[in-house]
Structure 1
Amino acid sequence: MQKKKDGKRPKRSELKSMIQDVFYNNPKKTYNYKQLAALLNVEKKSGRQMVEVLLFELMESGFLSEVSAGRFKLLSRGMQLVGKVDMTASGAAYIVPEDGGEDVFVAQANLNTALHGDVVKILQFARKRRRQMEGEVIEIIKRKRELFVGTLEVSQNFAFLVADSRVINKDIFIPKDKLKGAVNGQKAVAKIVEWPAKSKNPVGEIVDILGDAGQNNTEMHAILAEFNLPYTYPDEVVAAAEKIPDEIPAEEIARRRDFRGVTTFTIDPADAKDFDDALSIQKVGEDLWEVGVHIADVTHYVQPDSIIEEEAYERATSVYLVDRVVPMLPERLSNFLCSLRPNEDKLCFSVVLTLTGQGELKDSWVGRTVIHSDRRYSYEEAQEVLESGEGDLAEELLLMNAMAKALREKRFKRGAISFERIEVKFNLDDAGNPLGVIFKESKDANKLIEEFMLLANKRVAELIGQNELEKNKKAAAKTFIYRIHDEPDPDKYETFSNFVRRFGLEATPQGKERLSQALNRLLKSVQGKAEQNIIETLAVRTMAKAIYSTHNIGHYGLAFPFYSHFTSPIRRYPDMMVHRLLQRYLDGGKSADSDEYEEKCDHSSEMEQRAADAERASTKYKQVEFLKAHEGEVFEGVISGVSQWGLYVELVENKCEGMIPMRELDDDFYQFDEDNYCLIGRRSRRRFQLGDALNIQVVRANLEKRQLDFRLAGEAGDDWMKSGSE
C-alpha cells in the first residue's frame, strides 16, 4: 500500500480521502477497485479489499454512483445543493449536504446571513485540486431559530442584544421603541424582524425580558431560551389540564385488569413528584412470581389533536436543569392525575412478567390496568431496606432485588456495556446558590428499578418487532417506535484502544471476546483508579448516540435486538407514541404511517439532544458560580480534554472542568497531536497527555460566558504545589 512520508501506511480514513481525491480530479472517469488500487499503489490483498469496501460506502453515502457492476463514477450533484449550516468558532461554516456527500466550506463573507443550524441552498465553486470544496449561500430555506437570548447594551439612541457568538456572531440591533421596557444589562429574548442584504447587523425586537443578569432564575431561563426550549407554560394549556376530571369512572375500571389488591410500590428520587412507574409482585406458583411493571396511562388523559397533546409533542421531553424540572406535561397531569401516588387508584398501561426467583422469564401479558400503590419509597429508603433486610415490604424488595441481579448478570453476558459513571449534583440554597458538590452513585435500589424498566421496554418492542400479535410471523413488522443504538465507529474505537494502552490497559477483544465484553473488562479494571473518569468519558465518546427511529437496528449498548421506550410517558413523548401504537395493534389495527412517525422520531431525538445540552449548560453555570468564590486557589486536576486551543482539566475534588488556554503554556511552543490526545512542546518535547494529573490555579470564573480559566500550578505531588496551597 502507498506509504506516507513518515513511512506508515495510511489509515482507513486517509485511504478514503485519497479515493475521493481521485474521483474529484477525474469527475468524468469511471474506476473499479483494481484500477484504484493500482493508482494508489495498494498492493496487498487486504488493502485492495478495503478499497472495494470504501467504494461501496462512498456509493451509499451519495458520493459515488455505480454506473455498471463494480464500476464507479463521481455522483454529480450539479452546481447547487441543499444542506445544514454547521458554524465554526471563527464565524465561517461547513454545509452538511442533505444527500450525504462531502461537506462544503463557506467563508463568513459568503454566508449571507445564514446562521448555525439553518437549512440553506448553496452554489458550489469550481473545486481546486486537493482543496476543500467551497461555496456560497444563495438561499435560506429554513431558519433553525427565530428567537435569540442575550444581554442588552442600551445607549442614548439605540440598543443591541449581545447573544452567544456560537449561536449568532452578530449583535442584534434593537430600535429604542422595540425594547419593551428592558434596560441596560438585562437578559432578554429578541426576535429578528429583518436583515437587510447589505446590513452588517440584523434588526430585532424584544419579545421577553428575563431579568437582571446573575440572578438564578434569569440565568436558568436564559439557558432554556438559548437552546430554544420553553421556560413558561401557556395559560391555555394549563387551563385545559385543569378541566380534566380526577375521578375514574366505574366503567373505565371495568375495562381494565385490576391490580388494586396486589402488593404495589414506587421507588423514585426523594424530591420527585412525577411517579410514572410502579412495581407489583405476587406469587403464582412454586418458585413463580408475577411482577407487574405499571406505567402511568398518560394517553388516557391526553387525547390526540388536543392542545395538551400539541404542546407535549413540541416539547417532546421534560428538561432537567441543575435546580429544576421543566415538565413536558402541565403540573396537574405530571404531578397529580398521572403520577402514581400512594394510596390512590391510578390508571396504568402495564407489562406483567411471570418470572422465576432467578429472573427467568416464563410468560408475559401487556395491557391496560388499574393499580393502588401501597408505599412510596425514595431510593435511599429502599436501599436501607435492601441493606438491613428490615422494613415495609422487605421480603418483596429482597426477592425482586435478587431477580434484578440475575437479569443484570444475563444482560452483561449477552454483551451489554456497563457504564456506571458517578453523577455530580450541587447542593443549592433557597436562592439557587451552590453550597457544595454531591456525588451520587447508583446502588442496588436504583439498579432494581432499572432492570425491570429495561425488561418492560424490551418486551414491548419484541411484541411488535417480532410480530407476536400476528398470525403470520413472517409478515412485515408494523410501524413502531424503537430506541436504537449503533455499533461504535471502528476508527474511533481504534484510537481509543491505542490511548488506553498508555495506562497499561487493553480495550481490543482478546481471544473469543466480543468488543462489548472487552470494553466491560476495561471499565471494570479502572474502577477506583485515578484514570477511571477519563477512560469512562472517552469510552462514552466512542459510542454512537442512541436515537428514536421506526427503523430498528437494535440497541448495541444494551445488547437487545429489540428495544423501545415505554416506561416514562409523563416525561417523554416517544413513550406516549409507543402507548398509542401498542394499543392500536393490541386492538388489531392496521400499521401506522412510517414516514409520519419517523418525522416524529427525528423531532423527539433533536429535542432530547437540546434538553441534554441545556442540562450540561446549567451544570456548567453552577460550576463557574461555585468556583467564583475560589479564584486564586490551587486544586488537583486531571487533563480531561486536549485541543489546539489548550488543555481541559477536571478538578478531582468537585469534578468542575475548566481550560488552561494555550497562551498560558508559555514555556514552549506546543503542538496538538490529535491521534494521541496530547500537546507536545516543540523544543522540550514535554507532553501534556489526556489523563495526566496536574495542579491548577483558578484564574477566572466568568459567569457571563460560563467559562473557567485555569493556569498551571506545578505537577500533582510537587512541593511547589503544596507550598502554594498553604
Structure 2
Amino acid sequence: MKKERKIRKKHYNNLSTGFIKITSHGYAFVYVDEFEKDVFIPKNKTNRALKGDFVKIRFYHNRKGMKMEGEVLKVIKRKTKQFIGILKLDVQSVQSNKYGIVHNNIIHVDILVPIQKLEKCHHNNKVLVQIISWPKKFKNPLGKIVKIFGPSGEYKTEIFSLLEEYGISYKFSEEMENEAKKIFYKEILDVNFRKDMRDVNTFTIDPLNAQDFDDALSIRKLNSDTWEIGVHISDVSHYIKEGSLLDQEAYSRATSIYFVGEVIPMLPKILSNDLCSLQPKKDKLSFSYIFNIDSRGRILKNWFGKTIIRSDKKFSYDEVQCIIDQKKGDYCEDIYRLFLFSKILIQNRLKNGALFLEKVEIKFRLDDKNNPIDLLLEKNNDAHRLIEEFMLLTNRKISEFVSLNFEGIPSNKFYIYRVHDVPDFQKIFFLKKIIEPLGYFLDLKNLKNSINYLLKQIRGKPEQNMIENLILRAMSKAKYSTNNIGHYGLSFIYYTHFTSPIRRYSDIIAHRLLYHYLTINDEIKNKNEKNKLNTIEFYEKQSQYCSYKERLVIDVEREFLKYIQVKYIKKFIGKEFYGIITGFTDWSIYIDLLLFQTEGMVRLRDIKEDSYILNSNNYSIIGKKKRKIYHLGDKVKVKLLDVNIEKKQITLDWINDIL
C-alpha cells in the first residue's frame, strides 16, 4: 500500500502533450512518450477535444495503481475545424427549433448550426461544416455551413464530398484552363528530329469509353522472320514544360482519378482528351520504343526516341478479343501476331519468377441518373494481356537503357524507378496459417513458385477472392524511387513507369529524364530544349510525393467503389446469398458475398445456432455448446439484412452453414 501511494503521489501532477484518439463512445486515449503507452481519458474529462487534436493532459495512476488515467487540460491545436457530415432538420434532430444538427462519422459529437443560418440547406444534405465555437455550457460545438454538396447518397454528392474530404482538387482554375487552351491553339506539329511513323499500321486498344489514349502499337513485317514493333506513348512532356503553371498543377494532382462513370483528370481535358490523346486519323507527337523481334520472341534491335504517328483505328478490348478468337477482322494479321508475341513475353516473365496474380475487376453499368443497374465481374482477357505485356516490356527496356551501358554494366545515370520490395514475412506466415485448414500449402523456401502454384489451385474456387486479397496484403506496396531495389512481383531488376504520362506525373518525370539522356550530347536539340537536370534529391522527393498521392487516390477510388457497391446491393435486401468468411473480430464476422465480390458483416450475438467466441488464433470462431468451428475461407449462407450507404456498411443475417 505504501508503495502504491508513493507511485500515485509521484505522478499525480505529471503533465504531457499528445494527439488524442477518441472512440465513438466518447472515451479517449493519449499516447505519452515518457511511458511509451496510452493514457486513458474518461468520457467526462475530454474537455471539448476532438479526434486528432493536439492536447495538453494531466495524467496519474488510477485508484488501483495499475492503469494510467488522465484529463485534458487544454486543446493546443485542432487537427481540423472543418468536417463533412449530414444535416438533420427533422423534428427529432432539431433542439427546441433553434439548431440543425450535422452528424458525421469522424468525430464523436454532432455539430449544432443555428436554424436562421440554414436558409439554403435541406434535411439530409451532405455539407462541409466549420466549428466556430464550443461554449462551456454546451455539450456540442457550434458551427456554420461552408459548402453544400447536395442530397446525401446521390452520385455527384458522394464524389465531390469524398474529394473534399481527401483534399483533392477537382476543378481547374480559369488560369489553368486558359494556359491549356494556349498550348492547344498554338500547336504546330514540328516533325524535325522526329522519326516519322505515320505510314506504319498503328492502332490503340483501350476500354470502350476511354477518352485519354496514352499508348498505341505499330507493327510491320521486315522479312520472313523479323517484325518491327513500335510502342508509342503520348509525348506529354513536349507540351507540359517543367516549372510551368500546368506542370505545377499536374504535379500537385500527380495522377488522374478513375471513379465509376467519372474521371478527374490530372491535366485539363483539352489536353488529356484531345491534344495529347492518340486519337485515330490524326497526326500525334509521341515518345516511342521501337524494336525488331523474331518469331521466337528474341529482341534483335532497340531504338528510343521522339516520333510522329497517325493511329489508323481505335479498338476496344472486346473488339480485339473477338479478332483474336475468330481470327478475322480489321488488322487481323497484325493483331494476331502481336497476340502471339505477348504470349511469349508472358512465358518469359513467368520463367523468370514473376508472380501471376490476376484480380477480378468489378465494373458497374449506370443509368442516366448515375445509379448502378448492373454489375460485371471482369477478368483480364487476351486483349488486356496483349497491351499489358508490351507496356511492361517498354517500361523494363527503357529503365535498362538508362541504367546500363552498352556492355550491360551499370551506368552512373539516375532515374525514377517503379520498385517493389520483398513481402512481409509475418504476413506471409499468417497467409500460410490461414490456408492450411483449407487444404493449401505454401513453401516459404520457394515462395514465388509456391504462390503461383497456389493461384492456379484456387482458380474458380469460392475462396479464390479471399486468398488473392490475402496474398496482395502480404506483398509490399510498390512505389517510386531513385534508389533501385528491383521489382519483386515482376521479377525485373530494372523497371519504371513510362507508358501513361497523360494520367501519371511519374511518367512525365521518366520522359524528361530519358529525353535528357538521349540528347545530352546533341547541341542542335539542346538549343531549343531546356536540358539541365535537377539533383537526385529533387527527383527522390518527387518520387516520394507521387507514391504518396498514388496511395491516397487508391483509397479514394476504393471508397467510392464501396459506395457504388453498397448502393447497388440495397435492392437485394431480404435475399439470401452464399459468402466466404474473410475475417473475425471479438463481436463480428466479415463475409465476402460471392455474387457481388463485396464484404458484409454478421454480429456474433445475432447467430442463433450457438453462442460463438473468437479463438485465440484470431482466424476462427468456436461455438460454446456444440463446439462447431468456423475458419477463414469457410463457405456460409447469409441473408442481406440492411445497408447503410453513408457508412458504406452491409449488415447480414446468419442463415446456416454449408455442408
TM-score band, normalised by shorter chain: 0.7 to 0.9
Looking at structure 1, the residues matched to 236 and 17 of structure 2 have their Cα atoms a distance apart, in angstroms, of 43
Aligned partners of 1:299 and 1:579 also within 8 Å: yes
Aligned partner letter, 2:426: D
Which residue matches 1:507? 442
Aligned partner letter, 2:181: E
Cα RMSD between the aligned structures?
A: 3.6
Aligned partner letter, 2:602: I
Query: Over residues 606-644 of structure 1, what are the superposed CA-to-partner deviations in whole Å (9 max), with x where a residue is unaligned?
Result: 222222222222222222222222222211222122222
Aligned partners of 1:145 and 1:228 also within 8 Å: no
Aligned partner letter, 1:657: E
Following superposition, the deviation at residue 578 of structure 1 comes to 1.6
Which residue matches 1:346? 284
* Match for residue 405 of structure 1 among 337, 340, 343: 343
Partner SS state of residue 310, structure 1: helix
Which residue matches 1:492? 427
Which residue matches 1:184? 123
Aligned partners of 2:290 and 2:304 also within 8 Å: yes
Q: Does 1:570 align with 2:502?
A: yes
Aligned CA distance change for structure 1 residues 145 and 422 (closer, same or farther; 3 Å): farther
Query: Over residues 590-621 of structure 1, what are the superposed CA-to-partner deviations in whole Å (9 max), with x where a residue is unaligned?
Result: 65323333333333222222222222222222
Aligned partner letter, 2:405: E
Looking at structure 2, the residues matched to 458 and 293 of structure 1 have their Cα atoms a distance apart, in angstroms, of 13
Aligned partners of 1:121 and 1:141 also within 8 Å: yes
Looking at structure 1, the residues matched to 49 and 307 of structure 2 have their Cα atoms a distance apart, in angstroms, of 51
Which residue matches 2:512? 580
Aligned CA distance change for structure 1 residues 392 and 88 (closer, same or farther; 3 Å): farther
Which residue matches 1:516? 448
Which residue matches 1:391? 329
Query: Over residues 517-550 of structure 1, what are the superposed CA-to-partner deviations in whole Å (9 max), with x where a residue is unaligned?
Result: 1100110111112222221121112111112222
Query: Over residues 623-666 of structure 1, what are the superposed CA-to-partner deviations in whole Å (9 max), with x where a residue is unaligned?
Result: 22222222222112221222223111122222232100222135
Query: Over residues 412-452 of structure 1, what are the superposed CA-to-partner deviations in whole Å (9 max), with x where a residue is unaligned?
Result: 11111111121121222111222221121111100000001
Higher deviation after alignment, 296-305 or 330-339: 296-305
Aligned partner letter, 2:454: L
Following superposition, the deviation at residue 102 of structure 1 comes to 11
Aligned CA distance change for structure 1 residues 113 and 448 (closer, same or farther; 3 Å): farther
Following superposition, the deviation at residue 287 of structure 1 comes to 2.3
Looking at structure 2, the residues matched to 296 and 443 of structure 1 have their Cα atoms a distance apart, in angstroms, of 25
Looking at structure 1, the residues matched to 87 and 315 of structure 2 have their Cα atoms a distance apart, in angstroms, of 47
Looking at structure 2, the residues matched to 462 and 139 of structure 1 have their Cα atoms a distance apart, in angstroms, of 56
Looking at structure 2, the residues matched to 369 and 595 of structure 1 have their Cα atoms a distance apart, in angstroms, of 31
Aligned partner letter, 1:492: K
Query: Over residues 659-711 of structure 1, what are the superposed CA-to-partner deviations in whole Å (9 max), with x where a residue is unaligned?
Result: 00222135544332364621223443222211111111111112222111001
Aligned partners of 2:587 and 2:604 also within 8 Å: yes
State how 1:434-453 maps to structure 2 within 5 Å. 434-453=372-391
Partner SS state of residue 273, structure 2: helix
* Match for residue 215 of structure 1 among 150, 154, 172: 154
Looking at structure 1, the residues matched to 479 and 358 of structure 2 have their Cα atoms a distance apart, in angstroms, of 20
Aligned CA distance change for structure 1 residues 169 and 539 (closer, same or farther; 3 Å): same
Looking at structure 2, the residues matched to 291 and 138 of structure 1 have their Cα atoms a distance apart, in angstroms, of 69
* Match for residue 481 of structure 2 among 540, 544, 549: 549
Partner SS state of residue 239, structure 1: helix
* Match for residue 240 of structure 1 among 179, 184, 190: 179
Aligned CA distance change for structure 1 residues 137 and 539 (closer, same or farther; 3 Å): farther
Looking at structure 1, the residues matched to 443 and 262 of structure 2 have their Cα atoms a distance apart, in angstroms, of 41
Q: Does 1:602 align with 2:544?
A: yes
Partner SS state of residue 328, structure 2: coil
Looking at structure 2, the residues matched to 114 and 353 of structure 1 have their Cα atoms a distance apart, in angstroms, of 63
Percent of matched pairs sharing the same residue: 39
Aligned CA distance change for structure 1 residues 457 and 212 (closer, same or farther; 3 Å): same
State how 1:258-657 maps to structure 2 within 5 Å. 258-285=196-223, 287-464=225-402, 466-468=403-405, 476-478=412-414, 480-509=415-444, 514-588=446-520, 592-657=534-599
Looking at structure 1, the residues matched to 344 and 128 of structure 2 have their Cα atoms a distance apart, in angstroms, of 52
Query: Over residues 29-68 of structure 1, what are the superposed CA-to-partner deviations in whole Å (9 max), with x where a residue is unaligned?
Result: xxxxxxxxxxxxxxxxxxxxxxxxxxxxxxxxxxxxxxxx
Query: Over residues 233-258 of structure 1, what are the superposed CA-to-partner deviations in whole Å (9 max), with x where a residue is unaligned?
Result: 433322332232346425x2113221
Partner SS state of residue 183, structure 2: coil
Aligned CA distance change for structure 1 residues 633 and 475 (closer, same or farther; 3 Å): closer
Looking at structure 1, the residues matched to 435 and 507 of structure 2 have their Cα atoms a distance apart, in angstroms, of 38
Query: Over residues 4-26 of structure 1, what are the superposed CA-to-partner deviations in whole Å (9 max), with x where a residue is unaligned?
Result: xxxxxxxxxxxxxxxxxxxxxxx
Looking at structure 2, the residues matched to 548 and 334 of structure 1 have their Cα atoms a distance apart, in angstroms, of 23
State how 1:62-141 maps to structure 2 within 5 Å. 92=28, 105=38, 107=40
Aligned CA distance change for structure 1 residues 86 and 410 (closer, same or farther; 3 Å): farther
Aligned partner letter, 2:123: N
Unaligned runs of 5+ in 1: 1-78, 718-726
Q: Does 1:149 align with 2:91?
A: no
Higher deviation after alignment, 407-416 or 221-230: 221-230
Aligned partner letter, 1:181: K
Looking at structure 2, the residues matched to 279 and 224 of structure 1 have their Cα atoms a distance apart, in angstroms, of 35
Following superposition, the deviation at residue 330 of structure 1 comes to 1.2
Output the TM-score relative to the length of structure 2. 0.85
Q: Count residues in correspondence.
A: 625
Aligned CA distance change for structure 1 residues 577 and 475 (closer, same or farther; 3 Å): closer
Q: Does 1:249 align with 2:182?
A: no
Aligned partners of 2:610 and 2:625 also within 8 Å: yes
Aligned partner letter, 2:203: F
Unaligned runs of 5+ in 2: 1-14, 521-530
Partner SS state of residue 152, structure 1: strand
Looking at structure 1, the residues matched to 22 and 305 of structure 2 have their Cα atoms a distance apart, in angstroms, of 47
Aligned partners of 1:85 and 1:96 also within 8 Å: no
Following superposition, the deviation at residue 81 of structure 1 comes to 9.7
Looking at structure 2, the residues matched to 601 and 584 of structure 1 have their Cα atoms a distance apart, in angstroms, of 18
Partner SS state of residue 182, structure 1: coil
